Amino acid sequence: MAFADYRLRVPLRVRWAEVDMQGVVFNGHYLTYCDVAVTEYWRAIGLRYPQDMAAFGTDTFVRKATIEYFAGAVYDDELFICARTAQLGRSSLRFVLELFRQSETDRPLIGAELIYVNADPVQKKSQPWPEKIRALIRAYEAIPPLENDAPR
Amino acid sequence: MAFADYRLRVPLRVRWAEVDMQGVVFNGHYLTYCDVAVTEYWRAIGLRYPQDMAAFGTDTFVRKATIEYFAGAVYDDELFICARTAQLGRSSLRFVLELFRQSETDRPLIGAELIYVNADPVQKKSQPWPEKIRALIRAYEAIPPLENDAPR
Amino acid sequence: MAFADYRLRVPLRVRWAEVDMQGVVFNGHYLTYCDVAVTEYWRAIGLRYPQDMAAFGTDTFVRKATIEYFAGAVYDDELFICARTAQLGRSSLRFVLELFRQSETDRPLIGAELIYVNADPVQKKSQPWPEKIRALIRAYEAIPPLENDAPR
Amino acid sequence: MAFADYRLRVPLRVRWAEVDMQGVVFNGHYLTYCDVAVTEYWRAIGLRYPQDMAAFGTDTFVRKATIEYFAGAVYDDELFICARTAQLGRSSLRFVLELFRQSETDRPLIGAELIYVNADPVQKKSQPWPEKIRALIRAYEAIPPLENDAPR
């Protein structure tokens, strides 16, 4: 995806403690950046996490994460971590995320995909997204209802 | 894969600082566990990292990481992070990793795949694995030369 | 203190992700090592954390931490993080901790002090240690009741 | 110190991954926040770290860290980490730092002190601060030469 296609672009600066001896951000820390983006995503669509989810008797859990590393972010880099909903399923949500240098938004440093499942907080069994949350996501992304997002 | 199929099984105990408010290890920290396994993998096959790689004028970089989350590890859990080489390419290496509770080795908590690329340390351009390293990996895994691992 | 004076010596190996571009463990991560030692301390004295504290209607909180850095631990270093109770107050506990290379136990890499306060989990107001916990600590350290540890 | 006394006030938002099961930021992560403040401090005074230090043939190392925990920062808290030079010695620098909620700047959540030593990068032996760096710090803090900062 292109940088311009993301409505959510979260600014971030690389911390000293995140950089390893290869001089680049340690590979696992990019998932922390992605998580920061997800936090901001909920805020951006108008959902307070975790309070609002809890009010719906629901919570979200990462089911799968995939990251491709194209180039390393270095100490003090100013970045944008971008995220958007690529697919909204009955109880799942697939985020696509990319990390860009603020000075170089034509090609990402990393590309990631996070698949979340909506589930009940105790048994952690998947359950449909509350309709209110679906509506917030659709409105934010300005997407029509997706195929697998049909009335149940 | 089954637990028994891993030659490398690294014991690990979940630290307090790794567990989040959902009561499970934060999703990004599993990549730190995987990295611990890779450290031990190099040691197990008889390679000192990064000295020996440096002596060959080479280094390895993660190109892609995939994690599936089946269940969360909790505080103080005693785990095994297991790793094996699933594919040894000309300049790439695909690790398969799984995380097990020591008391429950019949099903993994997470499954992961890490694709490493061997590259020159400066330009970070991929280059073939040094033959010595290929031999160490093959010997450790007791695998015959793989298809894409043919003489060049 | 000398290495021999610690009853609790927790082995630890430095992870790649913990080392920064100066080639040493990032200064904040030593508090994670100290926390690992505290986890093991509770286990060593026979207390399950946090269950047993919760059963007493109590919890512990760090009130102050002090670390002196003498030398840096490097990647793959095999360490001992050692801890002992230096002072057991009415509602406080002062741990002294030192980090040693396993191969060089005559001088510590870091020295630390952690002051914990026992408090009620909700209001976080300090309250006296449960007598059972005091007894476990005294027995483990083989120390007589301390001056400020008199009957109340 | 009062919030108003800090010239450097770095905004920061608590990340999910930084919060532990007690619902507050893990005690060691505050040192990461302090480190972020130090990064911004160098920038604020006009020093590029580590390039400019390297150009002077020098580097800085933490010698001692002290943190007092008054109250815990929680998930998504918007904070200011504030830092100022409290003492500039011949080869040392004592930072005083405090962490505030942006909505509650009358009392800090934590107070910290970091003692840095200026040293040569290889031997790590202390050496006097380059005069240029001393001048930058003095100018930023608008402080007259300190007692132990006399001509040598």
Inside any domain, residue C88: yes
CA angle D23, D25, D31 (to 5 degrees): 170
Cα–Cα distance measured from residue A70 to residue B62, given in angstroms and rounded to the nearest whole number: 9
pLDDT digits (tens, 9 = 90+) for B67-122: 999 999 999 999 999 999 999 999 999 999 999 999 999 999 999 999 999 999 88
For B22-27, what is the mean pLDDT? 96
* Beta strand A59-69 pairing with A110-119: antiparallel
CA distances from B74 to A71, B71, B129, C5, C38 (A): 33, 9, 38, 32, 17
Give pLDDT, residue B143: 66
Cα–Cα distance measured from residue A24 to residue B121, given in angstroms and rounded to the nearest whole number: 12
Q: Which amino acid is at A13?
A: R
Give pLDDT, residue B151: 44
Give pLDDT, residue D152: 41
In which band, very low, low, confident or very high, does the pLDDT at B45 lie, cut at 50, 70 and 90?
Answer: very high
Give the whole-number percent of chain D exceeding pLDDT 90: 89
Q: Note whether C97 and C48 are within 8 A (CB).
A: no
Token pair recorded at residue B148 = 């894409």
Residues in B touching C30 (Cβ below 8 Å): none
Inside any domain, residue B150: no
Cα–Cα distance measured from residue C44 to residue C71, given in angstroms and rounded to the nearest whole number: 28
Inside any domain, residue A66: yes
Q: Which of A29, A63, A67 sits opposite B64 (nearest CB)?
A: A67
Residue of D24, D26, D51, D67 for testing the chain C interface, max C β-carbons within 10 Å:
D67
CA distances from A104 to C21, C110, D47, D51 (A): 24, 41, 24, 22
Residues in B touching A66 (Cβ below 8 Å): 64-67
- The nearest alpha carbon in chain D to A18 belongs to D32
Q: How many CA atoms lie within 13 A of A139 on its CB side?
A: 11
Give the whole-number percent of chain C exceeding pLDDT 70: 93
Single out the residue of B92, B29, B64 nearest to residue A112, CA to CA: B64
Inside any domain, residue B151: no
CA distances from C150 to C85, C128, C131, C147, D27 (A): 17, 12, 11, 6, 30
Residues in C touching B35 (Cβ below 8 Å): 15-17
Inside any domain, residue A151: no
Distance from CA of B28 to the nearest CA of D (A): 8
Omega cis (within 30) before C121:
no
Give pLDDT, residue C89: 96
Single out the residue of A114, A64, A118 nearest to residue A90, CA to CA: A118
Q: Note whether C124 and C116 are within 8 A (CB).
A: no
Q: Which of A16, A32, A35 sits opposite D35 (nearest CB)?
A: A16
Distance from CA of A35 to the nearest CA of B (A): 9
Residue of B14, B16, B18 for testing the chain D interface, max D β-carbons within 10 Å:
B16
CA angle A61, A65, A71 (to 5 degrees): 140
Mean pLDDT of chain C: 93
Inside any domain, residue A152: no
User: Virtual CA dihedral for B1, B6, B12, B14, nearest 10 degrees?
Assistant: 0
Q: Note whether C93 and C116 are within 8 A (CB).
A: yes
Residue of B14, B15, B33 for testing the chain C interface, max C β-carbons within 10 Å:
B15
For D87-110, what is the mean pLDDT? 97
Instruction: For B14-150, list the strands marked E by DSSP.
Output: 59-69, 78-88, 92-101, 110-119
Give pLDDT, residue D150: 44
Give the whole-number percent of chain B exceeding pLDDT 70: 93
What is the rounded end-to-end Cα distance, in angstroms, of chain B? 30
CA distances from D106 to D5, D70, D101, D102, D103 (A): 12, 13, 9, 10, 9
The domain that holds B24 is classified in CATH as: 3.10.129.10
- The nearest alpha carbon in chain A to C26 belongs to A17
Q: Residue C26 and residue A20: Cβ atoms within 8 Å?
A: no
Helix, strand, coil percentages (3-state) for chain D, rounded to 5, are 30, 35, 40
Residues in B touching D77 (Cβ below 8 Å): none
A–D interface: beta-carbon pairs under 8 A: 21
Single out the residue of B142, B33, B127 nearest to residue B84, CA to CA: B142
For D112-133, what is the mean pLDDT? 95
Given a cut of 50, the residues of chain A with pLDDT beneath it are 149-152
- Helix (H) or strand (E) holding B107, with range, is none
- Give, as one character, the DSSP assignment of residue B19: B
pLDDT at C98 over 90: yes
Q: Which of D59, D63, D67 sits opposite C69 (nearest CB)?
A: D63
Give pLDDT, residue B122: 87
Q: Residue A66 and residue B62: Cβ atoms within 8 Å?
A: no
What's the burial of D33, exposed, middle or buried (CB within 10 Å: 0-12/13-18/19+)?
Answer: buried
Containing structural domain, residue C124: 3-144
Q: Note whether C79 and C11 are within 8 A (CB).
A: yes
Cα–Cα distance measured from residue D67 to residue D73, given in angstroms and rounded to the nearest whole number: 14
* Residue B68, beta-bridge partner list: A64, B111
- The nearest alpha carbon in chain C to B36 belongs to C15
Q: Which of B21, B31, B61 sits opposite A31 (nearest CB)?
A: B31
Inside any domain, residue C151: no
Q: What is the full DSSP assignment across D92-130?
A: EEEEEEEEEETTBTTS-SEEEEEEEEEE-TTT--B-PPP
Give the whole-number percent of chain B exceeding pLDDT 90: 89
pLDDT digits (tens, 9 = 90+) for C117-151: 999 988 889 999 999 999 999 999 986 655 554 44
For C83-112, what is the mean pLDDT? 97
Residues in C touching B32 (Cβ below 8 Å): 15, 17
ipTM score: 0.92
Give the whole-number percent of chain D exceeding pLDDT 70: 93
Task: Please report where in the chains the tokens 């099903």 appear, as a residue.
Answer: B107
The number of domains in chain A is 1
Residue of A18, A53, A67 for testing the chain B interface, max B β-carbons within 10 Å:
A67
Q: Residue D17 and residue B28: Cβ atoms within 8 Å?
A: yes
Q: Which of C15, C17, C35 sits opposite B16 (nearest CB)?
A: C35
Q: Residue C35 and residue D26: Cβ atoms within 8 Å?
A: yes
Report yes or no: C49 at the A interface, CB cutoff 8 Å. Answer: no
Report yes or no: A35 at the D interface, CB cutoff 8 Å. Answer: yes
Inside any domain, residue A149: no
Token pair recorded at residue C38 = 């505290």
Report yes or no: B62 at the C interface, CB cutoff 8 Å. Answer: no
- The nearest alpha carbon in chain A to D42 belongs to A76
Give pLDDT, residue A101: 98
Give pLDDT, residue D107: 97
- H helices of B11-97, in order, are 29-45, 51-55
Q: Residue B75 and residue D19: Cβ atoms within 8 Å?
A: no
